[in-house]
Amino acid sequence: MPNRLASATSSYLRQHAENPVDWWPWCDEAWDTAQRLDRPVLVSIGYAACHWCHVMAHESFEDAEIAAYLAEHLVAIKVDREEHPDVDAAYMSATQAMTGRGGWPMTVFATPTGEPFYAGTYLPPRPAHGMASFRQVLEAVVAAWADRRGEVLGSAERISDRLAAARRPAAGGPPPDEAALEAAVHRLATEFDPDNAGFGGAPKFPPSMVLEFLLRHAARTGSVEAASMAAATLDRMARSGMYDQLEGGFARYAVDAAWVVPHFEKMLNDNALLLRVYLHWWRASGEPLAARVAGETAEFLLARLRTDEGGFAAALDADTALPGADTALPGADTVHAGEGATYVWTPGQLAEVLGPADGAWAAGLLTVTETGTFERGASTLQLRADPDEPARWAGLRARLRDARMSRPQPGRDDTVVAEWNGLAIAALAEAGALLELPALIEAAASAARLLLCVHRDGTGRLLRTSYAGTAGSSPATLADHANLAEGLIALYAVTGEPVWLTSAGGLLDEVLARFLDPDGALLDTAPDAADPRLARLGAAADPTDSASPAGVSAAAGALLSYAALTGSARHRETAELALGPAGALARQAPRFAGWALAVAEARAAGPVEVAVIGPPEDPATRALHRVALLGTSPGAVVALGPPGSTEPALLRERGLVHGRPAAYVCTGFLCQAPVSEPADLASAVSAVSAVSARLPR
């Protein structure tokens, strides 16, 4: 019989709707029940595409005895980290403080008022590898609550006090200056992997935001060091097992330092960020590989993650089937269902689909060996070098892709997350314009319309998630507002349609009105939407990037771009305040501040402002507009409008030149003489970028 989660808008919660566990969603009633019954609370946090979340659910939450024990002694709350990032962040801080590590599933035990006193991640059904079983932990927690209540409450209080102190707003200070940005590049060079590219060792995550910073730094300064690190990493990732060589799109991360074996879940946020940075690599270098990967990743987003309502789903699962289930997949050998089963191949399977000769050729090209690079003799697909026969490879690739579609496919988390869709809107809008693929721009616009119309509460405020066209109840975070605004500004830049910039301005007005603390620092969660149970665990903004830009960094970028288009001093001042914490990170930990450093590069460059004036249907207007969008000056903004436009302010009092469409290149609304030739515009953008980079900030 389904439990309380059956009607949830969260895919992750619905995955647990048939558990015998008497789950509650995160809600006041659950906590009120815990206080009334005087019971500790199990807060179990995960997400729909999480492999070990599935494992623990299968092993423990589907166990009737475990469910009965939970029902008798605790109150059990299931939380989707994508729906409640504030809950996830607070309890992740507690888990890391108590255990020295974190991850999902996250297993937290808290008092009836929400203070954590014991935490871990995955817990096995039986003791193993020095780990207690889940049942043993439950029994120990229940015994401690009954017999040592004072110790438990004291521990919870100390943990909460430590977390509250640690999560005060990050110290301000000036934004990273040119010296700090240069220092960040040098620090990254010390962490660069000269053999495999990327930064650090295993596991190795795609450093999309750091790569964006490096490309921008190279564009502003001409740094060969920055450009080389970015190019080497982008090239290696594109040829690796982490990139889907048949369908496009990237897996979450590689478990090894050489990018051979991925953790197979495919996340919207990762792919949106990577699509954009590959597009920018192509824009800067003309590298064909960059254009191919950007185009294929965009195709993947539309083919596999686009929802019926026009938004983009959160993720494809890492698993093909339930953990432990074995399924014979098409091919000469048996590959067992589970993590990665959809994607890996043996030489025999290649031969069965392609024939012996083509199968052997493809195996050599894709590094598919008899011993395998994954499990049970199967290999991930790597394309370490461009094929000598590209037409042959194109045909074989299509046949392998079609054959793979006959295999069991990974599940999809259909949750539409505002933050991640904002990233996708920005990437698809720019890709559509630069790669001249109008369908991508329309897809971006459709997603924007869904978010602006459906993701609203009764007062018109933005909500974080939706499912099947129905909005969830979680208030939007700073990152939701900022990344959606970023996407809308990008959509305005490529279309010139004022509605997108107006909508971005409304979101940023919400940021200024609701997300600032009394000292002017930005907060991840608006105080009027914060859960009081989390207050003692800290409510400040985390300035470090995770899988997406930190909320404060995303806000800084959107605010800076909006200020450049509108001339708003308040938006620029708040952007610069939001960049303050990145000053220290630039020297100490630039790998975790990539987006803030990318925004700081835009600030150091101006950013350059380009106003294009002319009838939108005029080919001369379109030619100038394309050159403006192809400019590589960090964070450059583009406004497009017909003669007489008054909004945004960048377009005011800008006219045609001798009756011809014209472009005005400006910094801080101080403009060069207008130009009407695309080549002159390209030169003007480069000249202003070089001058503005030398101006004091």
- For the chain, how big is the Rg over CA atoms in Å? 26
Q: What percent of the chain has pLDDT over 90?
A: 82
Look up residue 109 and give its two tokens: 């035990």
> Looking at the predicted structure, is the pLDDT value of residue 448 above 60?
yes
Mean pLDDT of 296-306: 98
What would the mean pLDDT of 452-464 be, rounded to a whole number? 96
Q: State whether residue 450 is helix, strand or coil.
A: helix
Q: Does residue 618 lie in a domain region?
A: yes
Give me the count of residues in the chain.
697
Which residues span the domain enclosing 25? 4-166
Strands 116-120 and 106-110: antiparallel
3-state secondary structure 254-312: ECCCCCCCEECCEEHHHHHHHHHHHHHHHHHHCCHHHHHHHHHHHHHHHHHHECCCCCE
- Is residue 379 domain-resident? no
Q: How confident is the model over 233-271, as pLDDT tens digits? A: 999 999 999 999 999 999 999 999 999 999 999 999 999
Answer yes or no: do 563 and 540 share one domain: yes
Q: Indicate which CATH number applies to the domain containing 586.
A: 1.50.10.10
CB 681 within 8 A of CB 623: no
* Banded model confidence at residue 530, pLDDT cuts 50, 70, 90: confident
Which whole number is the average pLDDT over 672-679? 96
Among 561, 580, 605, give the residue marking a domain's end.
Answer: 605
Residues 639 and 553 occupy one common structural domain: no
Q: Among 112-116, 420-424, 432-436, which is the least confidently predicted range?
A: 112-116
Which DSSP helix (H) or strand (E) runs through 78?
strand 75-80
Q: Which two tokens stand for residue 268?
A: 């919207």
Q: Are residues 142 and 14 part of one domain?
A: yes
Closest CA to 10 of 40, 37, 36, 49: 49
| Placement of tokens 């920018």 in the chain | 280
* pLDDT mean over 496-502: 98
Local confidence band at 325 (pLDDT 50, 70, 90 cut-offs): very low
User: Cβ distance 350 to 359 under 8 Å?
Assistant: yes
pLDDT of residue 71: 95
Confidence of residue 332 (pLDDT cuts 50, 70, 90): very low
Considering the domain architecture, whether residues 554 and 504 belong to the same structural domain is answered as yes
**Phi and psi, residue 467, nearest 5°:** -145, 125
* Mean of pLDDT values over 633-643: 97
By the 8 A CB rule, do 242 and 253 touch?
yes
- In a domain, residue 419? The reply is yes
- Give the whole-angstrom CA distance, residue 660 versus residue 662: 6
686 within domain boundaries: yes
Examine the domain organization and report whether 601 and 619 are in the same domain.
no
Residue with tokens 């193993």: 128
Residue 525 is given by DSSP the state S
Tell me the pLDDT tens digit for each residue of 347-403: 999 999 999 999 999 999 999 999 999 988 999 999 999 999 999 999 999 999 999
Residue 276 belongs to a domain: yes
Give CA angle at 368 (366, 373), nearest 5°: 115
Residues 561 and 423 in one domain: yes
Query: Residue 168: pLDDT band by 50, 70, 90 thresholds?
Result: low
CATH number at residue 152: 3.40.30.10
CATH of the domain at 630: 3.40.30
Q: In the chain, what's the furthest Cα-to-Cα distance?
A: 88
Helix (H, G, I), strand (E, B) or coil at 530: coil
Measured from the Cβ of residue 423, the count of other Cβ atoms closer than 10 Å reads 29
pLDDT digits (tens, 9 = 90+) for 203-242: 999 999 999 999 999 999 999 999 999 999 999 999 999 9
* Cα–Cα dist 619/607, whole Å: 27
Q: For residue 671, is it within any domain? A: yes
29 in a domain, yes or no?
yes
Which of 605, 636, 666 marks a domain boundary?
A: 605
- 588 & 613 share domain: no
Model confidence over 170-215: pLDDT tens digits? 556 889 999 999 999 999 999 999 999 999 999 999 999 999 999 9
642 neighbors 447 (Cβ within 8 angstroms):
no
Among 423-427, 523-527, 579-583, top mean pLDDT goes to: 423-427
* Residues 366 and 212 sit within 8 Å (Cβ to Cβ): no
pLDDT of residue 697: 43
Q: What is the pLDDT of residue 336?
A: 45
Of 114, 119, 94, 111, give the one whose Cα is nearest residue 151: 111
pLDDT score of 333 more than 50: no
Both tokens assigned to 314: 């959160």
Cα separation values, 321 from 51, 397, 411, 458, 619, Å? 11, 24, 8, 39, 52
Q: Do 151 and 185 sit in the same domain of this protein?
A: no
* Count of CB atoms situated within 10 Å of the CB of 500: 25
Same domain, 624 and 594: no
Joined tokens for residue 608? 């350059």
pLDDT at 334: 39
Of the candidates 129, 150, 116, 112, the one whose C-alpha atom is nearest the C-alpha of residue 30 is: 112
Residue 398 lies in a domain: no
Give the end of a domain, one of 605, 638, 655: 605
206 and 133 within one domain: no
Helix (H, G, I), strand (E, B) or coil at 462: strand
Q: How confident is the model at residue 319 (pLDDT cuts 50, 70, 90)?
A: confident
Q: What is the mean pLDDT of the chain?
A: 92
Q: Given a cut of 50, is residue 623 above it in pLDDT?
A: yes
| Residue 244 and residue 128 in one domain | no
**What is the pLDDT, as a whole number, of residue 696?**
43
Distance of CA 683 to the CA centre of its chain: 34
Shared domain check, 584 and 548: yes
Pairing of strands 412-417, 262-263: unpaired
Q: How many domains does the structure of the chain reveal?
A: 3
| Closest to 251 measured CA to CA, from 384, 338, 340 | 340
Question: Residue 331 pLDDT > 50, yes or no?
Answer: no
pLDDT exceeds cutoff 50 at 324: no
